[in-house]
Amino acid sequence: MTHAAAPQAPTFAVVPGAQVHEALHGREQDVVATVEAAYRLHGEGLTVNPDSYFLRFPDRPADRIIALPASVKGGVGVHGIKWISSFPGNVAAGLPRASAVLVLNDAETGYPFACLESSIISAARTAASAALAAARLADARGERPRRVGFFGVGLIARYIHTYLAANGFEFTEAGVHDLSADHAHGFADYLRRSGGEHLAVTVHEKPEDLVRSADLLVFATVAGEPHVTDPAWFAHHPLVLHVSLRDLSPRIVLDSWNVVDDIEHCLKAGTSPHLAEQLVGHREFVAGTLYDVLTGAITPPADRPVVFSPFGLGVLDLAVAKHVYDHVLATGLLHTVPGFFHELKRYG
């Protein structure tokens, strides 16, 4: 008679940002595939994705730190949590708005086995999700957009552009709009450097001009409430990556064909789809989820604006983090902390 080996406490590793960057940079298609696999696991009920928890501060209402716990089965097979802060005032001081760490827990023992720098992971999974949705929705409509517009020009916008380019999007025109003219022109310069000589880049002072000029719109702002309100701007039926979730008025949402990553998560916390639900008292304006698009259960129309509103699921962060961990482990350069777990005997 054989006995299963008793579970052992795992080693504990720290994966710094440089290693995270090395594991992800230039491997955008692999990251998109990882995110797609996680979406499929989520759609098949093989994940646990509780509500995010928001730590807010009465004396600093613009700041917050968010906890995203999750669990993924299948080929990922981990539990964990992302702890990500958003302090918009950092930008004026020359620091990124967001910073984050992520802890991976062993599925068998529950012991944490790695802590990873996660602002890069968070940006990569957000961009991969947006690029995956853009590709599948555009292909289902029969044509990939050639004119792109960026509303908000921070780190997430840059990552989304990178992931769109890496996944087959070829743009001839790019538009930019931001509340900060300096930031808008800085992002325009980045697009000119990275987009090639055939890309015409325009900075738009008016939001309407940006919206009307683009067939693929990327909203990546820090807006807390809708600031784009006129459905007529969308009469050309663009594909909209509504990544920042709170930019569009309920009327624009209701006039569009809407897909989300998770209905229960997305229709809360004052998102534009949540405001639309409160206005009309139902959720019938949501066609379905990205999983439904991936499986062919729903198909986007060509004669309406198509809006993808991703709340951002913790299961995606875990999947990308495990992908990074496995890559670093395979290189033999994983930094472990000897003796991290000290009290391992129940009675001393």
**pLDDT (tens digit, 9 = 90+) per residue, 237-266?**
999 999 999 999 999 999 999 999 999 999
CATH superfamily of 13-121+314-336: ornithine cyclodeaminase, domain 1 (3.30.1780.10)
Give the class (CATH, top level) of 127-309.
Answer: alpha beta
Comparing CA positions, the residue from 171, 164, 114, 122 lying closest to residue 148 is 171
Q: Is 172 helix (H, G, I), strand (E, B) or coil?
A: coil
For position 264, what pLDDT does the model report?
94
Query: Cβ distance 300 to 259 under 8 Å?
Result: yes
Q: Can you give the pTM of this predicted structure?
A: 0.93
Q: How many CA atoms lie within 13 A of 4 on its CB side?
A: 4
Question: What pLDDT sits at residue 222?
Answer: 86
What are the boundaries of each domain within the chain? Answer: 13-121+314-336, 127-309
272 close to 311: Cβ distance less than 8 angstroms: no
Residues of the chain falling short of pLDDT 70: 1-9, 348
> Phi and psi of 84, rounded to 5°?
-125, 130
**13-121+314-336 and 127-309: same fold?**
no
